Amino acid sequence: MMYHTPALLHESVDGLNISPEGIYVDATFGGGGHSRVILDRLTTGRLVALDHDANALANAPDDQRIIVERGNFRFLRNYLAHHGYRQVDGIFADLGVSSHHFDEAGRGFSFRYNDAPLDMRMNTAAQLTAKAVVNQYSEDSLTTVFSEYGEISDAWRLARQIVTARKMSVINSSGQLVEAIQRCIPRGGENKYLAKVFQALRIEVNSELDNLKSLLMQSINLLRQGGRLVIITYHSLEDRLVKNFFKNGMFDGVAEKDIYGNVNVPFRQVNNKAIVPSEEEVVVNNRARSAKLRIGEKN
């Protein structure tokens, strides 16, 4: 089984505007699909690739031009400094969950497997699991997680249902969680609702939005002038952060103007509208259907 089919492959690599001698980062190595295309465009250049899932490292190509590290991109500055790089020419990140994670029942990312453990850790060495969130978080904390990260309108009701169910028995598996919240799941919208529930838990377990904010802020100093930051997102929470960051240089609010009315932002938006997959790509790779690509160039 293929580890992962890369989304918007050529559009994203084109967006890096690669110089054959440049230094580039693939912050989410995964199956290595994007990295291989980047390497194809390098001569004496180098690629630093990160992934916090040990399974992904097995996909690393045998190529002296690539450095592959197991780690979270929130520590990108440290990894680059370790290898002697203060600045780079381009940073790429595909924020999607690899097909490997959804398809491997033991990782607990999908509600398709009833007996899957509630895990959802990208980094299997991390401590916090979805089981801990579901069974140990307070009702108020659960409400916040499902409201903010799943954008679920009746998050309070969902949280209360979980708290009631776990008093009877510990919720260990995906199937037990689905059973516990059955009263909250709307008829005809089961998959969409459950996708939001599992998305919220996954974001909480892996601190995904905080990690993204850290990557975006680091990129301001890590990219050389004219360097490109290329990000693929898969849901509105991520896309909103990236869009606001490119537009205003912050995650919410409006950028401040100087006395002449000019907005001083660290990036120029290369594409004002997000690039989305073609109909042909979605037919071949349905999981790419929600992907959005945004490209910023360092001012």
Q: List domains and CATH numbers for the chain.
A: 9-99+208-298 (3.40.50.150), 105-206 (1.10.150.170)
Tell me the per-residue pLDDT of 61-103, one tens digit each, with 9 for 90 and over.
999 999 999 999 999 999 999 999 999 999 999 997 754 444 4
Q: Answer with the residue of higher pLDDT: 228 or 259.
A: 228
pLDDT value of position 104: 55
Query: At residue 57, does pLDDT exceed 90?
Result: no
State the pLDDT confidence band at 230, using cuts at 50, 70 and 90: very high
Q: Give pLDDT, residue 251.
A: 86
Cα 35 to chain centroid distance, Å, stands at: 16
Query: What's the mean pLDDT in 108-115?
Result: 61
CA 108 – CA 31 distance, rounded (Å): 19
In terms of phi and psi (left: phi > 0; alpha: psi -120 to 50; beta: otherwise), the region of 253 is left
pLDDT at 13: 97
Choose among 21, 69, 67, 15: nearest CA to 41: 21
- Asked whether the predicted pLDDT for residue 105 surpasses 70, the reply is no
Query: How far is it, in rounded angstroms, from Cα 141 to Cα 123?
Result: 23
Give the C-alpha separation, 288 to 5, whole Å: 9
- Which of 13-27, 105-119, 125-139 is predicted with the least confidence, judged by mean pLDDT? 105-119
- Token pair listed for 270: 């290369």
- pLDDT for the residue 234: 93
Structure tokens at 225: 């002038």
* Higher pLDDT pick, 259 / 211: 211
Residue 263: closest CA among 284, 246, 241, 243: 246
Chain-centre distance for alpha carbon 14: 20
SS (H, E, C) the chain: CCCCCCCCHHHHHHHCCCCCCCEEEECCCCCCHHHHHHHHCCCCCEEEEEECCHHHHHHCCCCCCEEEEECCHHHHHHHHHHCCCCCEEEEEEECCCCHHHHHCHHHCCCCCCCCCECCCCCCCCCCCCHHHHHHHCCHHHHHHHHHHHHCCCCHHHHHHHHHHHHHHCCCCEHHHHHHHCHHHCCCCCHHHHHHHHHHHHHHHHHCHHHHHHHHHHHHHHHEEEEEEEEEEECCHHHHHHHHHHHHHCCCCCCCCECCCCCECCCEEECCCCCECCCHHHHHHCHHHCCCEEEEEEEC
For residue 11, what are its two tokens? 């559009």
Q: Which residue has the higher pLDDT, 176 or 251?
A: 176
Q: What gap in Å lies between CA 198 and CA 200, rounded to an integer?
A: 5
Rounded to the nearest integer, the mean pLDDT of the chain is 90
Average pLDDT over residues 183-208: 93
Return the pLDDT at 100: 46
Give the model's confidence band at 2: pLDDT under 50 very low, under 70 low, under 90 confident, else very high: very low
State residue 102's pLDDT score: 44
